[in-house]
Structure 1
Amino acid sequence: MNQIRKRAQEKREEICRDRRYLHQNPEIGMDLPGTVSYIGERLSEMGIKWNFCGGELSEKMTADYMEAGFPEMKKAVGITAVIGQGSPCILLRADMDALPIREETGLPYCSANGYGHMCGHDSHAAMLLGAAGILKEMESELCGSVKLLFQPGEDTGAGAKMMVAGGALRNPDVDAAFGLHVQPLQETGRVGYCRGVNSASLDTFILKIKGKGGHSSQPQICVDPLMILNQVYQAVNLLVTREVDPAAMATLTCGVVKGGTAVNIIPDTAELHIGVRTLDLGASEHLRRRIPEVIDHYVRAWNGDYEMTVFQTPCTYSDRKFVKEMLPFLEETAGRENVEEIPPMSGTEDFGYVTREVPGMFVFIGAGKEGNAPLHNAHMVLDEEVLPIGAAIYADAAVSWLKKKRNEE
């Protein structure tokens, strides 16, 4: 066991305490005052100077996210901190927002506020706090700078975007970035990685159709938004089966359908939420163009009108050269037998906003076993033995990569 892994194991109880506090006090979205306050206090206790990162959300962005079901958010607030000095600089990122899911695990530190860390982000933040403590102890040995990013809003699809816009990759300039995610369906300690595209893009279209309501006995003087919605629903689904290469991974789901109050009333409005995920850049670009075209033509063909809100999250990309550099460090920390290359995930991860700016790598760490409740499930429980492993992976990735780059100079 290397020294960093040994030190992380010694800090296990501390990392667990951080994780359990965050787990019991989840917050969702971009503005997480309690979470940010706790992480800031913990960094200060370690003697690590930190800064807020982020910025104000535009009125439209605030309104758009409220349409998507999030609470009112007027700002995005994360935390950055730097350990060490000089170049090169590697960024370690942990997300820290929760989900609008009521936890049903029955754990003694179970959330009771209606939200839940069923995404595992509480463990990511706790792991990075553990790594921060180790890195601070080793600060004089660092061959450059380690920048920590505690990010809000990953499950909005744009928290990383706000952090990048707020300067997370500057002062000092970041040369490479590393992130991770727990996986409760995999054996604890197993590490999976990809080369190239790592996660699917996600494009969300929130469509509000405006018709003309009236009595169901007089449809000829109405404009039925439910009928238009039905036409749009079928048409956009046909785009994937008839205009996208079957070899491209592409899924389209209309996860929200709203409209109507009674069988004898044609309503004024109806609402449809469309989500598209793909690992194929060409398919993504095609569907981003064609879905709005199809919507426009069908709605106007039936004399309706509409408003549409669009959210886009890019694929996360693990840079092939950076992956090659990092693999020996991962194998040293996690054990070569525990590290394997895996297919890209069909889910979405907003770390893609970082990896399109600097070379990056994103990995998954097993935190359970096959048959467990999955991520985003009210019964999801993580094996806390993963916490020191994740902290060690974060810390060793930074220390070893900086040393490698310094030796290459």
Structure 2
Amino acid sequence: MSMAEEIRRRAEELWPTIVQDRRYLHQIPEIGMDLPQTCAYLKKRLDEMGIPWQVCGGPLPPQMTADYMAAGFPEMKRAEGITALIGSGAPCILLRADMDALPIREENDLLFRAQNGYGHMCGHDSHAAMLLGAAQILKEREDRLPGTVKLLFQPGEETGAGARMMVDCGALENPKVDAAFALHVQPLEEAGRLRYSMGVTSASLDTYIIKIKGKGGHSSIPQCCIDPLMIANQVYQAVNLLVGRETNPAAMVALTCGVMRGGSAVNIIPDQAELHIGVRTLDMGAAEHLARRIPELTEHYVRAWRGDVRITEFHTPCTYSREPLCRELAEALGQIVGPERMAVIPPMTGTEDFGYITREVPGMFCFLGAGAPGSPPLHSPNMVLDERVLSLGAALYANAAAAWLARRQNSGEEEGT
């Protein structure tokens, strides 16, 4: 029996445990960077497997806490993820699972649905449970691993910066990570199918919370006021023109103003106005250009009309899957799902903060079908996953790592490129 067959069979045996882990996590959804109940459960499970773990994270800077609260997140004073090691020595491959939920109330008939007003409607509970299953498989094969598998249970993916916090806190060091792999469930795809992109895999997302300070007063004397709503309107038009006049028409750029607010009555010019602008693109050059120009243009327009402005920025880069690593890992992944159930697809226009990791080390990101076409999508309050894929996900994680390490041993390679 091949290594892949052994891993697949063991994952199927562990399926009831993986389901149990997933359902427990599903009932305790937490959002943001600080997930105490989720982390406590994962630490307990790793202890039961005899896998050493460490907390990865620490206090958040007060300004970052304030910025995220301004963006609508609850108060987050710290970020906490978990890293765990299986095996020893170089090389080292990282397996990442995100574990945060969404501020969405779940609406379905599941007996284990969440009751606290939040919901795992992006499937991160299943990612964490599948990685626990892979951990069990790899721990049982630890004496046959020619190197190290590092597990990363990551918070704050939905903030767009959880992976950045983990990188900043040393998740890719001690031991040094040489390659990284992550997967994501997709309820719109037939269960068991695997999809991935090579090169740019997901869009970047740059968010600007623009707070304009004017000078309020009676609408009958506008000459005595500074109208922040008028300024906001001009800013919105100006930044939209940037897309059509300063980015390559071949680049996919989507700019959206999701929030524009200010004022309380028709006969009052308010003191303040606020815009929340998001820019998604698959073109890294366009992202860099707009990240310079949007703040610059905003400040000039606001100053031209004698206002003041404060801009809070959040930046999540494109996830980039290195082609050589994808081709290598695709063979190992195909041994689990069957090569006929795999396909290369165009990059997604959504955003995934695994990009912070693929900026530092070679990485691969893929989607595991966990539903069927026409099913409620990710981020829907009605989203439901086919739990039969949980053993597949565990086997994909485990075989990707074991096969990558085995190839390094056989070829003498030390890099993941």
> What's the TM-score, normalizing by structure 1?
0.98
Amino acid at match of 1:148: L
Q: Tell me which of 199, 202, 211 is aligned to 1:199.
A: 202
- Name the counterpart of 2:100: 97
Instruction: Confirm whether residue 63 of structure 1 aligns to residue 63 of structure 2.
Output: no
Match of 2:397 in 1: 394
Q: Distance in 2 between matches of 1:145 and 1:114?
A: 39
Once the two structures are TM-superposed, the CA of residue 242 in structure 1 deviates from its matched residue by 2.2
What are the residue-to-residue correspondences of 1:4-403 with 2, within 5 Å? 4-403=7-406
One-letter amino acid matched to 2:305 = W
Provide the rounded CA distance (Å) in 2 between the counterparts of 1:269 and 1:10: 60
| SS class of match (1:53) | strand
- The correspondence for 1:404, drawn from 392, 404, 407, is 407
> After the TM superposition, which of the residue ranges 334-343 and 289-298 deviates more from structure 2?
289-298
Cα distance per residue 1:56-86 (max 9 Å; x no partner): 2111111111111111111110000000111
**Structure 2 residue identity aligned to 1:330:** L
Q: Which deviates more, 210-219 or 26-35?
A: 210-219
Where 2:133 maps in the other structure, the secondary structure is: helix
Q: CA deviation at 1:184?
A: 0.7
Task: Quote the Cα distance in structure 1 between the aligned partners of 2:96 and 2:354.
Answer: 8
Q: Deviations over 1:251-271 (max 9, x none)?
A: 101111121112222111011
SS of equivalent to 1:2: helix
How far apart are the structure 1 equivalents of 2:12 and 2:390? 9
Deviations 1:117-147 (A, max 9, x none): 1111111001001101111111111111100
Is the partner of 1:14 in helix, strand or coil? helix
The one-letter amino acid of 2:328's match is: E
In 1, the alpha carbon distance for the partners of 2:395 and 2:222 equals: 66
What is the letter of the counterpart of residue 398 of structure 1?
A: A
Distance 1:372 1:256 in 2: 29
Q: Secondary structure at the match of 2:364?
A: strand
- What is the CA-CA distance between 1:189 and the residue it aligns to? 0.8
CA distance in 2, matches of 1:270, 1:24: 39
Report the CA distance between 1:55 and its aligned residue: 2.1
Shift of 1:245: 1.3
- Letter matched to residue 71 of structure 1: P
TM-superposed CA distance for 1:280, in Å, is: 0.5
Please, which runs of 5 or more residues in structure 2 have no aligned partner? 413-417
For 1:134 and 1:180, the matched residues in 2 are separated by: 17
Q: What amino acid does structure 2 have at the position aligned with 1:237? A: N
SS at match of 2:279: strand
Q: Percent identity among equivalent residues?
A: 68
Separation of aligned partners in 2, 1:105 and 1:267: 43
Q: Which amino acid aligns with 2:173?
A: R
User: Cα offset for 1:16?
Assistant: 0.8
Structure 2 CA distance for aligned equivalents of residues 68 and 350 of structure 1: 17
Deviation, structure 1 residue 240: 1.2
Deviation at 1:190, TM superposition (A): 0.7
Aligned residues: 409
State the one-letter code of the partner of 2:390. L
What corresponds to 2:415 in structure 1? none
> Structure 1 residue 325: deviation in Å?
1.3
One-letter amino acid of the counterpart of residue 290, structure 1: R
Residues in 2 aligned to 1:61 and 1:9: alpha-carbon distance in whole angstroms: 43
**Shift in Å at residue 108 of structure 1?**
1.1
User: Alignment RMSD, CA only?
Assistant: 1.0
1:27-81 deviations in Å (ceiling 9; x for gaps): 0000100000000001111111111001221111111111111111111100000
Separation (CA, whole Å) in 2 of partners of 1:350 and 1:256: 23
Partners of 2:221 and 2:48 lie apart in 1 by 70
Q: Do residues 3 (structure 1) and 6 (structure 2) align?
A: yes
